């Protein structure tokens, strides 16, 4: 079975059908609504695996990808045809498996987690629509379809983050995610417009072919378009300065957090950069402004988010900032020319981050809250959750031979060998981030699973099998999926290698440094939180050592410009604009309006006086003159009318004499 149009249509439409079924009939099914979603998404998953295998096998002999496109509509008057279609290449095949496979286990996990929720069927409807939207984004072969899927993914995230909308925090988080990502989407739309204006095409293949043959001046314009397109990735993948929405998205159900962070929304930005990589790499890999911007924003975000994660007490917020950091890692890898490394980390991260979020959901399900300071000692009560969580933690921290080690090492190696401006500094940021990642994950493990239970009202217990089975499956892949990228026999590189990207030979230096900093981070976390576990929720060993810096980190470096509830620079800037608005209102009312009113009054006075003079002396004067002259003429002509016949005869004779004299004069001339 190959990726025929029928197979691809079923892969994409099956989750959408599940969405429609639950919308119209889910209320009748109630607690059985998940059967339809699990069945149809399961069909999509199986077909995705089949398409993946066939695509991989074919790629060794024939790199040609499967695709189809047809006419959507024509505008205007037949000048351009908008097409709709799909393509299945190696990268698409990998993403299909990531989205459907991980998504199916998240849905299975949701059966236990969402049991008893009054909007059970609606939850599975939204979850299915979320997957359908992401599959459309992965499969589309043109910018129109990409943008449509892009916005659908944003809409679904809004619906799922705010699923418990009766909670003010959830409603606020949903609005925040929707609005902040729209900022990046505006740049994304402008990038599409500029690309179309320059190339006259919307199909990805057509754009890439045009760009390859374009003049240097046109390539500069397309580089600007690539930077604008990257704005969309900054929003969707929560990169600085639009990173602020993702931690608040934790207000949604935990399976939603896992889906957003692992296989759908945040992965969309990185995938988009990878899919449009020929535009970003159009001007080579050295001193390329587009790739340099991608690399530095990614590297800085990775470091920034990691520093914030070390001071968070909410178990899901730690993982949220970890996601932001790892997405920054991926983009840094793509920016330094590590096309394979960045996308490889996208795949491995999807498995272990889904595992960690579902593991955190298992913990929350057991203790009833998110506060790590009130947990502790859970490894005795939740052995399956503990073991699987440790595997996810090790994969994220980059401990060999777990999945995250291989992909993170590839990114560091790419940065180590890169020649973009400041590549060595990016490599150093990557190492520091690796240390911080290992530290905050060890801190989380120590606070949650070691020591004694600090919440005496909690009665922890292991989660049901419907929740632990997905944990075990994801733990297996978190431990093994990285082997497809082992240096020297890098299967992933052979499948998705970008032809013109620089190839870096295996180097021991980045690998050894990566292992060393990860071990140092684990040792530091172990000494503070495991060897000497905290006894009271109020204790915080790190605050004792960092002082005020810890509070700054806990308050997110005061960079959340969207949230005016926190006393931070964004808040003061917002208040400054409010006072500026008040001042401007006063200036407008009393100065500008005062001047306008004064001019109006003066104009009215002058105009009224002039009008009065004109009326009195011109209009009335003219009327009076006409009356006086008429009266004068009347008095004169009245004297002629005496009533005597001789006077009238005299006038007649005088008139005839005058006419005769005038006639004689005319003849003599």
Return all residues near 400 (Cβ < 8 A) that are at least 6 apart. Answer: 406, 515
Per-residue 3-state assignment (H helix, E strand, C coil) for 153-214:
HHHHHHHHHCCCCCCHHHHHHHHHHHHHHHHHHHHHHHHHHHHHHHHCCCEHHHHHHHHHHC
400 touches 474 (CB < 8 A): no
What integer pLDDT is reported at residue 5 of this predicted model?
Answer: 75
* Closest-CA residue to 470 (of 161, 267, 254): 254
Residue 229 in contact with residue 211, Cβ under 8 Å? no
Token pair belonging to 525: 């976390």
Chain CA centroid to CA 36, Å: 30
How far are the Cα atoms of 270, 609, 654 from residue 239, in angstroms, in the given order?
Answer: 11, 67, 111
Q: What is the CA radius of gyration of the chain?
A: 38
Q: Torsion over CA of 658, 664, 666 and 669, rounded to 10 degrees?
A: -140
Distance CA 379, CA 390 (A): 10
pLDDT recorded at residue 9: 85
Q: Bridge-partner residues for 81, per DSSP?
A: 74
Report yes or no: 405 and 495 within 8 Å, Cβ to Cβ.
no
Contact between residue 68 and residue 85 where contact means Cβ atoms under 8 Å apart? yes
Q: How far apart are CA 7 and CA 597, in angstroms?
A: 73
Please tell me the distance from the alpha carbon of residue 344 to that of residue 210, in angstroms, as a whole number: 28
Residue in 187, 197, 136, 129 with CA at minimum distance from that of residue 160? 129
Q: Would you state the pLDDT for residue 563?
A: 60
> What's the CA gap between 13 and 116, in Å, rounded?
28
**Which residues, 6 or more positions from 493, have their beta carbon under 8 angstroms from its beta carbon?**
340, 344, 485
Rounded Cα gap, residues 48 and 72, in angstroms: 25
Q: What is the number of other CB atoms lying within 10 angstroms of the CB of residue 446?
A: 23
The structure tokens listed for 265 are 């929304």
Residue 67, phi then psi, degrees to nearest 5: -160, 165
- C-beta of residue 242 within 8 angstroms of C-beta of residue 181: yes
The 3 state secondary structure assigned to 444-493 is HHHHHHCCCCCCCCCCCCCCCHHHHHHHHHHHHHHHHHHHHHCCCCCHHH
Q: Are 189 and 227 in contact (CB under 8 A)?
A: no
pTM over 0.85: no
Number of H helices, E strands in the chain: 28, 2
86 sits in which H/E element:
strand 80-88
Residue entry with tokens 């990614």: 298
How far is the C-alpha of 192 from the C-alpha of 143, rounded, in Å? 7
Q: Is the dihedral of CA 658, 659, 660, 664 positive or negative?
A: positive
CA angle 447, 448, 452 (to 5 degrees): 80
**Cβ contact 229:164 at 8 Å:** no
Helix, strand, or coil (residue 72): strand
Distance CA 140, CA 521 (A): 41
Cα angle at 154 between 150 and 158, to 5 degrees?
Answer: 170
Strand bridging mode 80-88 / 66-75: antiparallel
pLDDT computed for residue 395 by the predictor? 93
Inter-CA distances, 666 with 652, 653, 663, 669, Å: 21, 20, 5, 5
Confidence (pLDDT) at 591? 85
For the chain (length 669 residues), average pLDDT per consecutive 10? Answer: 74 91 82 86 91 75 57 64 78 88 90 85 90 91 90 91 89 90 92 92 87 88 93 92 88 85 82 91 81 94 94 92 94 90 90 92 89 89 94 92 90 88 90 95 93 82 89 93 79 74 72 92 93 84 88 86 53 60 78 81 80 80 80 71 69 82 79
Residue 574 has a pLDDT of 54
Q: Quote the pLDDT of residue 608.
A: 78
Tokens of 589: 């009312």
Helix (H, G, I), strand (E, B) or coil at 144: helix
pLDDT at residue 59, as a whole number: 64
Q: Would you state the structure tokens that stand for residue 401, as one six-digit string?
A: 């031979």
Question: From residue 566, how far is each of 67, 206, 358, 372, 570 by CA, in Å?
Answer: 50, 48, 30, 22, 9
pLDDT recorded at residue 119: 86
């Amino acid at each position: 079975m190959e990726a025929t149009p029928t197979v691809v249509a079923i892969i994409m439409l099956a989750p959408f059908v599940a969405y429609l079924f639950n919308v119209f009939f889910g209320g009748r099914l109630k607690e059985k609504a998940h059967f339809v979603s699990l069945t149809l998404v399961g069909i999509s998953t199986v077909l995705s695996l089949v398409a993946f295998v066939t695509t991989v096998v074919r790629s060794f002999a024939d790199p040609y990808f499967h695709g189809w496109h047809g006419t959507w509509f024509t505008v205007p008057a037949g000048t351009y045809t908008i097409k709709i279609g799909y393509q299945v290449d190696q990268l698409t095949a990998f993403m299909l498996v990531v989205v459907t496979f991980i998504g199916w286990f998240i849905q299975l996990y949701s059966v236990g987690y969402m049991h008893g929720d009054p909007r059970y069927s609606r939850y599975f409807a939204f979850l299915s629509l979320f997957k359908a939207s992401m599959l459309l984004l992965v499969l589309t072969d043109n910018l129109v379809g990409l943008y449509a899927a892009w916005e659908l993914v944003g809409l679904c995230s809004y619906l799922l983050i705010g699923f418990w909308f009766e909670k003010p925090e959830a409603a606020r988080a949903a609005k925040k995610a929707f609005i902040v990502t729209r900022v990046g989407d505006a740049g994304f739309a402008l990038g599409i417009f500029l690309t179309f204006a320059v190339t006259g095409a919307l199909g990805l293949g057509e754009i890439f072919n045009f760009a390859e043959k374009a003049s240097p001046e046109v390539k500069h314009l397309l580089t600007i378009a690539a930077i604008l397109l990257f704005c969309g990735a900054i929003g969707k993948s929560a990169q600085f300065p639009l990173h602020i929405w993702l931690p608040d998205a934790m207000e949604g159900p935990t399976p939603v957090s896992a889906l957003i962070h692992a296989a759908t929304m945040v992965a969309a930005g990185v995938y988009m950069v990878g899919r449009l990589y020929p535009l970003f790499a159009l001007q080579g890999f050295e001193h390329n402004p587009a790739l340099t911007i991608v690399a530095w924003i990614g590297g800085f975000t990775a470091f920034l988010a990691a520093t914030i994660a070390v001071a968070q007490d909410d178990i899901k917020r730690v993982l949220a900032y970890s996601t932001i950091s790892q997405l920054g890692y991926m983009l840094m890898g793509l920016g330094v020319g590590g096309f394979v490394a960045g996308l490889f980390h996208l795949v491995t991260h999807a498995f272990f981050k889904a595992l960690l979020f579902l593991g955190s959901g298992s913990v929350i399900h057991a203790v009833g809250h998110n506060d790590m300071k009130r947990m502790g000692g859970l490894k005795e009560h939740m052995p399956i959750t503990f073991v699987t969580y440790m595997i996810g933690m090790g994969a994220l921290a980059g401990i060999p031979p777990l999945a995250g080690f291989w992909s993170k090492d590839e990114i560091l190696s790419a940065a180590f060998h890169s020649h973009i401006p400041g590549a060595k500094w990016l490599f150093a940021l990557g190492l520091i981030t690796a240390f911080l990642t290992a530290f905050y994950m060890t801190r989380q493990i120590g606070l949650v699973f070691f020591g004694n239970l600090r919440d005496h009202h909690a009665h922890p217990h292991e989660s049901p099998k419907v929740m632990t089975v997905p944990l075990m499956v994801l733990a297996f892949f978190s431990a093994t999926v990285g082997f497809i990228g082992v240096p020297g026999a890098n299967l992933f590189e052979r499948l998705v290698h970008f032809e013109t990207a620089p190839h870096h030979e295996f180097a021991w230096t980045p690998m050894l440094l990566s292992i060393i900093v990860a071990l140092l981070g684990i040792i530091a976390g172990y000494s503070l939180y495991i060897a000497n576990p905290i006894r009271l929720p109020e204790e915080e060993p790190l605050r004792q050592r960092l002082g005020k810096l810890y509070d700054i980190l806990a308050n997110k470096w005061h960079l959340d410009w969207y949230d005016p509830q926190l006393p931070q620079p964004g808040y003061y800037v917002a208040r400054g604009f409010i006072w500026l608005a008040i001042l401007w209102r006063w200036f407008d009312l009393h100065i500008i309006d005062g001047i306008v009113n004064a001019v109006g009054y003066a104009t009215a006075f002058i105009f009224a006086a002039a009008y009065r003079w004109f009326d009195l002396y011109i209009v009335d004067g003219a009327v009076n003159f006409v009356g006086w002259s008429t009266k004068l003429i009347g008095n004169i002509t009245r004297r002629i009318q005496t009533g005597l016949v001789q006077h009238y005869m005299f006038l007649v004779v005088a008139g005839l004499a005058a006419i005769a004299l005038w006639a004689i004069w005319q003849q003599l001339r």
